[in-house]
Structure formats: structure tokens, C-alpha cells
A and B are shown apart, each in its own frame.
Chain A
């Protein structure tokens, strides 16, 4: 099944590779992955949609939480969350259907970001299903080219972030768990 995972991770070289490596070494195919800086530039927020055997969902989250660079991995598949995606689409339109295309775009909440005699570039956001319909409709007017961002998700309930405090070097002692 398609699992939606939200990750908060350190913005460090290799951090992305560790996350994707965990999935690829298990033979899972990543449907989509988005990543960008958070308010704190030292951190990134990542949303991954990945086809995972349903019995392995928890294991995947646990393994991600074990990664040193990952501060928090959350399974949003069944959790209260908003999942959105951005589509950028260019459609070639003959003169006579330009108005119709604009109307349709409006129905889907799309916004024209560029217009030329050839046609339009349109952006739209929404859930994957709605965007699929939008793309189909646009395709019926003429040749299209599409870029999708992949799912972006945010949980609707804040989850406690457990961060570890600094520890002294050279003693290899255990850390105490602390909630910040």
C-alpha cells in the first residue's frame, strides 16, 4: 500500500541517501519524494510516498527513526493530515478553445502563470486524484506537458519532538532521554 511518511531531518550531505537507501535496500519503489528547508535552515522536511508492504509499515518508520540524521519520522498514512500536490502544466490550445481551457482551469482552481499564442502554462494544487482529473481534462484540449511535485504533507496534530541533549565526549556513556 502507499505509505505517506513525513520526516524531519538534519540538512546534511548524505541524509537524503540514507533515507532513500533504507527504502531501496528493501526493494520499495518511491512514488514521490519532496524535500526542502524548514524555518530552521539546519533542518529539512521531507514527504515520501512509497509503496510498502502493509506489514512492514511500522518497521520502515522505526528504521527511519534510527537514522542519526533523522529527528522524527511520522507515518501520516492514516493520521489526520493534509496532503497536497502541485502540478505545472503546459497545454497547446487552438484559438477557438482558449476560453474553454481557461474556464476548466478555473473550475479546478488552477492559475494561469504564462500565456502565449500557442497556449497556456497553468499551476494547480490539490490532492492527487483531483489533479489527475485536471490533467485528463486539459489533455482533451490539446497536447500537454506536465510536471508534478509529488505529495507534500503536514500533520494536523503536533507531535512531540524528542531531541537529545549534548553529551560529553570520550566516555561512551548512555544518553538520557529528554523531552524538549
Chain B
């Protein structure tokens, strides 16, 4: 039996049918009917303090659970404020659905109050977007949006709903099927290519797994571990993939790329086979493409056909869901049961010896000081308290890189950061999303003194929702990462990177009704972090660290990844582009 109800109510019915239990948003004029329907609905709405953070929070929610995150904004400024979050979800393949209000349909195009061309503006910020002009299309559209966001390569989908569609009354008829004839989702992988992959793997003397965010999206960690163990390959795991193979796993060789480990970058440079799993050969990983993995054959598994061959032509392309493909590949390898020939076995042993030697020779540097807190020490302490179990959401900059290098993650969906877009301001709102989704978890929100100040308004959201997030500010008094580049490549001419007038965090936190503290002595670090963790509610810990520390190793822009600068004493030249 179809029931008479408003469009707004229908939308909520659809969300409930899709399993949505909470959403992040900010109301406004044209979404009034929607918020009115929400008033008597069980779906939890979390009022953020800026729409960008509604998207970031939805992403934290999605990233920490694997479910679709939902955010909502009003027309005009509400929708435009969402866009950074949408692009972020696009770049990091995070499934979110954004609902925006639009002016009444007959006013569209008249420069009505708070009108913006949301459909046009968000075309390139989304995997797909919709403008719903008729109530009859609403239900179908919402289900399509969830389907598109969560399948294939996940991503953001926006649905723009005019006020009159929210208000219109109609008979709600649940939609049970959707039909998108042009939406191709490749899942299985080509059997012939999977066989060819197995053959290449068996013959390889220096194999290397290069795994990334796709493993997390596909929930393929178990398959990855099995593959790594079956082939006994060392595995480098990208910034987006951290946790997909436990950092404690003996085959884990840390992150590759611009601030990756020496061992990871050398292994990529010297290996004879790359098994690329849910990665996209991003420029921050490959450095100068011509110098990247010059001796390697490449097996590339990705669900997005456009990623295959985009930056590096593979020898064996496999378009498919990495979970299914790896599952089949593991079965095939086990069935074939080919032992490496004696020569290959010996070469593989030598390869492992080499990789271990690289790890030993240049582990990530963790300097100490008697008087100052070194940023790396801060990461070590967080790592100690987390024991690979806590959720760490990070902002963007030096602290993000040190965290990725030094904090261990036993599982996927614990490390949440803005990778592809590198969007400052992500750290706190994404923690709000993650802590909302996983109230049982210890959540650290690790931020720089720059990025924190982009997100300060959300302290209020955190407090009002009673979220016990531990915000840790790595305060170096600068926009650290930009300062590092100015130091290294612009002759120490520090321009517009000094952050003075940082607020007193004790007072700041107190103003919002929770605890805060500033520390700057090495011996205060462990007890202060422990206190933060012990505190039942949120905590704001401002850690003043050495101001001029730089992140190493560093691959200068335009260089090959084996041309790492390992530390400050080495002279650094500006490379010819």
C-alpha cells in the first residue's frame, strides 16, 4: 500500500532503507521542509558548524565503517561549502551521499535568493550527481545515489533537491530495483589474466606487493595477507592503505613515496615484479615516472579501468574487485602449488636479505632531545598508547607524514587522512565522523597548528555530541610542511608560514567546557598523553615541538624515488624539472 507523504519524508524513508543511522548536516531556508520531517524521524542528525565539515565527518564515518556516509546542506552557500569535502571524497574514493537543497524549481535560473548552480558546480566534484526536478523521481534517485556511491570505485554522489520537491505530497512506493544500463562495475577479473599473473609471480626473483587504499575499500585485508604469505613477498603499503596489512606483519615494508621509507623506495626501484593492488601509481608515490621501478614487470589490479595504464603501462592488467581477484589468485597459486626453481628460490632469499638490510640501514629517524619535544617522539608516544588499535585521524602536513611513518595500525579503517586532495581542516571533523560511528574506539585526532585552526568551530560539535576525541596538536609554530619546502628549496626564505598568536588551549578548551593543556618538555609527553587518554571526555593537547624539524626521507619534486634525501646534513639541490 502506497502511503501519502511529503518528498522530505520519502527521502528519509529511502535513507532508512539504505541503512543510514546518522547524518551530518547544516540546515537552511530551502531544507526547512526536510529538517521538519527529520524532527520526528529516528535518523540521527549531527549539526556541524560548517558544511565542509559535514562532508569531512561523513567521510570519517564512511572510512571508519565501510558504510556510506551522508551529509546535507542547504542551497547556495551551503552547497558551495560542501565542495572541498566532495573533491576530497572523490580523490580518496570514499562513498558518501550529499543531499543539498535547491531553490523551488520554478525559480531555478532566476538568480533567486541563495541559488547556486549546484548541479553544474559539483559535476566534477562527484562520481555522479542529480538534480531532482519531479517528486516522482526522488525515491529512485536516492537509491541510485547510494548504489553508485558504494559500488565499483566508491565516491561521492550528490542529489540536489528543490524545495518544492521536499514539500510535494505523493504516494510513497518503495523502489526495489534500479537500472543503470551504462554503469559498468567490473568485479571478477579476467581469468586468463589472473593465470598470467600467477605465472609471472612464480617466476619472479624479486617480487614486491604495492598495496593501497583499494584494499581498504574492498575489505580485502584477509586476502592481501594470504597473498603476501603465500608468495612471501615484501609489501609496501601506501598512505591510503596503511592498516590493510598490519604494520606488525613481518612482510610489511612501510609506506613508499615522497616521504616513504628508504626500504620501500629501494625495493620499488630494484624489484623485478610489482603486484599493484588497489593503487593508482600516484605521483607522490612514483616520483619521476621514468625512473620508477625500472626493472619491474607490473601486474595491476584495480576496479577502475581508467587507472590501469594511466601512469604506468602494466604487463598484466586486471580490472576487478581486488578482494575477488586476490581470492581467485590465491586459490590458483595454492592449486598450482609450484615451488620456485632452485635458482629463483636462491634469488628470493637474496632479495629478502637485501630488503631487510635496507630496513636496517635506514629506518625512519626518531631523534631525541633533552630539552625539546621532537615531533617524531610525539608519534612514538601515540603509537605506544595506541598499540596499533586506536583510530588516528590526521590533518595535512608534516605531522601527517610522521604519523604515517611511525604509528602502527593493526587493522584497516583505523588510519584516516586526506591523501589525494591533501585538504587541511580534515583532521578534526573526520574524527567526529569516526568517533560517532565507533563510539567504543579510542580516537586520536592528530592535527597541525595550522590545520587545527581551520577546524576550530567543530570543537563545539564534538562537545555537544559528547565525543571523547583526543585532539593532539603537533604545534611547531609554523605551516610546517610549507616551511620545510621553503627551507630546502627556497633558500630558507620563510614567507607567510609563521603562525603566531596561537590561542591558549587550556582556555580554549575551557571555553567549550572540556580539558586542554599545553606541554613543551620531553618528560611531560608520556604523562600528558596518558592523562588525555584517561580523561573520559574529549581532550585538547597542545604539544609544542621543535619548530624547525623536517620530514625525511624526502624525494625532491621531480626526482626518482631512489634519489631520497635521508636527512638534513646532506646538501639539497633544486632538481632540474
Bound-state CA distance A71–B305 (Å) is 15
In the assembled complex, the Cα of A71 lies from the Cα of B129 at a distance in Å of 17
Contact yes or no, A173 B151, CB < 8 A = yes
Q: Does A58 contact B (CB under 8 A)?
A: yes
Q: Which one, A60-68, A90-98, A129-137, is touching chain B? A: A60-68
Are the CB atoms of A59 and B306 closer together than 8 Å?
yes
Q: Which of A14, A62, A164, A176 contacts B181 (CB 8 A)?
A: A164
Q: A21 and B182: CB pair below 8 A?
A: no
Q: Quick check: is A174 within 8 A (CB to CB) of the other chain?
A: yes
Question: Are A169 and B17 closer than 8 Å at their CB atoms?
Answer: yes
Residue A172, interface by CB 8 Å:
yes
A18 with B123: CB separation less than 8 A: yes
Residues B309 and A58 in contact, CB atoms below 8 Å apart: yes
Tally of contact residues, A, Cβ under 8 A: 35
Please tell me if the beta carbons of A177 and B119 are within 8 angstroms of each other in the complex.
no
The answer to whether B148 touches A68 (Cβ under 8 A) is yes
CB of A17 within 8 A of CB of B306, answer: no
Chain A hits for B146, CB < 8 A: 169-170, 172
List chain A residues, Cβ under 8 A from B188. 177
Partner pick for A65 among B68, B127, B305, CB 8 A cutoff = B305
The answer to whether A175 and B143 have CB atoms under 8 Å apart is no
Most buried by A among B147, B179, B321: B147
* Residue in chain B with minimal CB distance to A9: B182
Tell me the A29-58 residues at the B interface (CB within 8 Å): 58
Distance between Cα atoms of A66 and B18 in the complex (Å): 24
Cross-chain contact A71 with B182 (CB below 8 angstroms): yes
Stretch at the interface among B170-178, B199-207, B236-244, B453-461: B170-178
With both beta carbons as reference points, the residue of chain A lying nearest to B68 in the complex is identified as A172
Contacting pair B321 A174 (CB below 8 A):
yes
- The residues in A between 81 and 112 inclusive whose CB is less than 8 angstroms from any CB of B are none
For this complex, 30 residue pairs linking A to B, each with C-beta atoms less than 8 Å apart, are A9-B182, A10-B181, A13-B133, A14-B119, A18-B123, A21-B124, A25-B124, A59-B309, A63-B306, A65-B306, A68-B180, A69-B182, A70-B182, A163-B182, A164-B179, A164-B180, A164-B182, A164-B183, A164-B185, A166-B179, A167-B178, A169-B18, A169-B147, A170-B143, A174-B151, A174-B152, A174-B185, A177-B185, A177-B187, A177-B188
The 8 A-B residue pairs with the shortest CB-CB distance in the complex, in nearest-first order? A172-B150, A62-B306, A166-B179, A169-B143, A163-B181, A71-B182, A166-B177, A174-B187
